[in-house]
Structure 1
Amino acid sequence: MSEPSLIKSTEADREATFAASCHLLHELLEELSNIGKAEEGGMTRLLYSSSWLKAQQYLQHVMQGKGLVTSYDQSGNLYALLEGTDENGRHKPLFTGSHIDTVISGGKFDGALGVAAGMVALLYLNEVYGPPVRSLAAVSLCEEEGSRFPFAFWGSRSVTGSNDWSAAGNLKDAEGIRMLEAAEICGFGPNSSYPVRPFEPDGYLELHIEQGAVLERTGTSIGIVTDIVGQKRLDVMITGEANHAGTTPMHYRKDALIGATEMIVRIHELALSYGDPLVATVGTMELLPGAVNVVPGKVSFTLDIRHTDKGIMDRFILEALLIISASAARNRLHAEWQEHLSVDPVAMDEGWIERIQNACEALDFSYRKMPSGAGHDAQIFAEVCKAAMIFVPSQNGLSHHPEEFTSEEEINQGFRVLVEMLYQYGYRGKTDE
């Protein structure tokens, strides 16, 4: 097994290369922010859209131009490989990256930061240390958000094999276009020339903005993710009786909105009683017939529940459904619900958590161990390999928003921690670990 050679022999040379790498990282983020710019602000890059394809092709062009070997898989995930010299560690690289898709009018950093940082980190390591002992791969995952098709984490799920085209291909977007059809327009899909996946991951490391305000409010540079919350999402349908607003006495009414409002308030109070980190959110509501002079006959609303403990999350949902049933009965309404997302909480790898902590202490960066209240691709990879996440602050806690912002200094600190972790794995690590 050949050892890596130090190409940049002085600390000054390495720091100059790191500064140039940070400049390239911010340049990539700026260029990506111009792809899919939305009139209402931010950017929109939905899976298999023209802006999504342009972003992937742009990244491929940059990485190829700088000497990395790139490839796609059938789903449209883009890989940039830094191949290791050790035969045993060559074929299952450590993955680093995130997702390239956005929500509608999304921000500049969500997903894109991890993608750009992973690719630039490989370029830096190769320039300073040459080929690694064990392979490293930066990945621009095709999708995480579920903003176009009713299916989240398609990129990581297709890499890990937890879902395939038979499960996702016939899903339709708002315009009735099938997911497989959209993929084929972009040149992907099971009938393309691309493999199902070119590599299997030996591990997964993701740099991401926090998407919350904890790091900023506590003045902390780095978040070390301990767990990613589980999520349950339900569609709740309440049926009463639509009737004339002027001729229907109050005590005769079967007002679906009154019942739904009561349910929402009581579920909110229940969530407060559970305390952190449980959160429950009603994000959408629809009234039918939706007329100013008609008593609402039907109301549907969504319920999103998250917690790091599956047992607590399940108990809360049971109590929330009892609230819905009791309120429906009290108001002479009919209630039904359907679960459309269920993701268990996932713990990050303890060994990687310790390494990230040690790196922060060595670099004199303040850090905080914390759960992630948002879902991430790392939780999908954790099903098949060791996974870890590094957070950097989000100004005012904004995310999925055109004004999403993280300073260059904060990004550079997270990038330095990411580089150190990749270096430890690729260049210092023992193949029998």
Structure 2
Amino acid sequence: MMTEFDVQPQPGADKTNMSLPELELVELQAMLDWLSTYGADSQGGVTRLLYDNAWSEAQHALAKQMTEKGLVPAFDQAGNLYGTLSSKESVSSAQDGVATYPIVTGSHIDSVVHGGKYDGAYGIVAGILALEYLHKHFGRPKRTLQVVSLCEEEGSRFPFAYWGSRSITGVTTLEEVQYLLDQQGVSFSEAISGAGFGPDRGLKPAAQTYGAFIELHIEQGQVLERNSCSIGIVSDIVGQRRYSITVKGEANHAGTTPMSWRKDALAGAADMIVAVRRIALQTGEPFVATVGRITAEPGVGNVVAAKATFSLDIRHVRQEILDRCWQEMLQTFSRIAGEEHLRLEWDEHLSVTPTPMNEKIRQDIQEICEREQISYLHMPSGAGHDSQIFQSACPTAMIFVPSQQGISHNPREFTTEADLMNGFRVLVRLLYKYGYED
């Protein structure tokens, strides 16, 4: 059942149409389906990699959509796309000597290879439609509202993630990533220039200042579905550590080398992987540890492995837990290596600290859910998101909607229309509060 806004419409507005109309739901799903055609593959998946043709077509198509829906589109040098609903006064006007910066919502336009149509795209589409709805029913806001289609988050093309939010917050500059190569040997600098972006294109600098950032996103897990909740209010985004663990032994004949004489790198790695699972289970939720890849050399069935390398991904919402578990794992790996006469090496590829979301915005989201009678759950995010980058620069919050069976990064990724609409309703309410009331 739709709930009416308890606010007054702008003069001349249709007072009988103050609830979120069914048309919004139809357009929300239709626009997601439309956006998924950019980068669509024959298996029903979506592939939009940073600065490739599908990505470029999608961003420019969204810019056209923004114009049609009453927003002012603009690209920055990194390729982030902004749709602005300006306030009655200039964004840069000062109030008591303090500049008023826009309230921004949105997410990322890029996808993983052969991904789904909701990841990232939902937050962009919902943001565009939310600003259109607010403008249509309430006129221009007191404070400028924006939706941003972030150029990249996934790290699917180049070995680097969160370029969109990192460029906006100034955490990373083009100079720091320009020489990165994709799998075809194309440099980051060549790719950005080929897509029509970069510092020499006359576009505004990527670095921006936000009053707040609000990201609406599918959960990509099963927590909401299993708890029969429609909205997830993200409390924290987990910290992550990623490593490559290398175990070195000695290649030898599988038939003539007694078991007690072997320096079997693969057997040692296997004991270490078992220890990873044991330590994770002993630590308890929400700590998770994953070994997703292992290779052995020489990789021959009748030769004792001389070298084994495996990946390790650990995550938790508290830094001290991450630190403690890594040290326990490293000590265990070292003990196993010593007992088996092996050598141990390790490299850290990623270290991201846990990020709490803004408590005031979380409370506002909870109050909206209670007023709308929408079930909700405060929960951590086990996946990384642009919001963890923005939180260091401005008040930031994330709103989750359920993912059916927790499936994501997959063509089978799906969220029901009812859940999509609930997330949309909460976002509209929240943007109204910050843009029209506060």
Fold in common (TM above 0.5)? yes
Contact 2:245-2:311 at 8 Å conserved across structures = yes
SS in 1 for 2:246: strand
Q: CA deviation at 1:249?
A: 2.9
Unaligned stretches of 5+ residues in structure 2: 1-6, 94-99
> Residue 404 of structure 2 is aligned with which of 387, 395, 406?
395
SS at match of 2:73: strand
Matching of residue 139 in structure 1 with residue 148 in structure 2? yes
Alignment of 1:149-188 (within 5 A): 149-188=158-197
Equivalent residue in structure 1 for 2:279, among 266, 270, 277: 270
Picking from 234, 237, 262, the partner of 1:228 is 237
Deviates more, 1:322-331 or 1:30-39: 30-39
Q: 1:56 aligns with which of 59, 62, 76?
A: 59
Say whether the 8 Å CA contact 2:13–2:138 is kept in structure 1: no
Q: Say whether the 8 Å CA contact 1:89–1:134 is kept in structure 2.
A: no
Match of 2:25 in 1: 22
Mean CA deviation greater in 88-97 or 406-415: 88-97
SS in 1 for 2:315: strand
Distance 1:177 1:290 in 2: 31
- Which residue of 2 is the match for residue 290 of structure 1? 299
Runs of 4+ in 1 over 6 A off after TM superposition: none
For residues 56-88 of structure 1, give each alpha carbon's deviation from its aligned partner in whole angstroms, at most 9, with x where no partner exists.
111111112222110111111111000011346
Matches within 5 A, 1:87-126: 87=90, 92-126=101-135
Distance 1:10 1:270, change over 3 A: same
> Are the aligned partners of 1:172 and 1:179 in contact in 2 as well (CA < 8 Å)?
yes
8 A contact 1:4–1:133 mirrored in 2: no
SS at 1:270's partner residue? helix
Residues 9, 15 of structure 2: 8 Å contact kept: no
Taking the aligned partners of 1:161 and 1:199, their CA distance within structure 2 comes to 8
Distance 1:216 1:43 in 2: 24
1:277/1:376 CA distance change after superposition, 3 Å:
same
Take 2:293 and 2:58, find their aligned partners in 1: how far apart are those partners? 30
Q: What is the identity, as a one-letter code, of the residue corresponding to 2:18?
A: R
Query: What SS class does the counterpart of residue 420 from structure 1 fall into?
Result: helix
1:312 alignment counterpart:
321
State the 1:281 CA deviation: 0.6
Tell me the distance in 2 between the aligned counterparts of 1:256 and 1:350. Answer: 48
Equivalent residues of 2:83, 2:128 under 8 A apart:
yes
For the residues of structure 1 that align with 2:12 and 2:23, how far apart are their CA atoms? 13
- Contact 1:89–1:135 (8 Å) recurs in 2: no
Among 189, 194, 199, the residue aligned to 1:190: 199
Tell whether the 8 Å contact from 2:169 to 2:208 is kept in structure 1 after alignment: no
1:367-378 alignment runs, 5 A limit? 367-378=376-387
Tell me which residue corresponds to 2:270. 261
Identical columns (%): 49
Give me the whole-angstrom Cα distance separating, in 2, the residues matched to 1:154 and 1:78. 13
Q: After superposition, what is the alpha-carbon deviation per residue over 1:324-345, rounded to whole angstroms, capped at 9, x for unaligned?
A: 1111111111111111111111
Give, in whole Å, the separation in 1 of the partners of 2:75 and 2:61.
Answer: 13
Contact 2:167 2:207 in 1 (8 A): no
Distance 1:333 1:252, change over 3 A: same
> Hey, what does 2:430 align to over in structure 1?
421
Q: Residue 81 of structure 1: SS of its match in structure 2?
A: strand
- Give secondary structure in 2 for the equivalent of 1:156: helix
Deviation at 1:205, TM superposition (A): 0.3
Secondary structure, counterpart of 2:18 in structure 1: helix
Is the 8 Å Cα contact of residues 4 and 130 (structure 1) preserved in structure 2? no
After alignment, is 408-417 or 99-108 more displaced? 99-108
Moved more, 62-71 or 413-422: 62-71
Q: 1:85 aligns with which of 70, 84, 88?
A: 88
- Relative to structure 1, is the Cα distance of residues 381 and 284 closer, same or farther in structure 2, using a 3 angstrom cutoff? same
> Does structure 1 retain, via aligned residues, the 8 Å contact 2:170–2:207?
no
RMSD of the alignment, in Å? Answer: 1.8
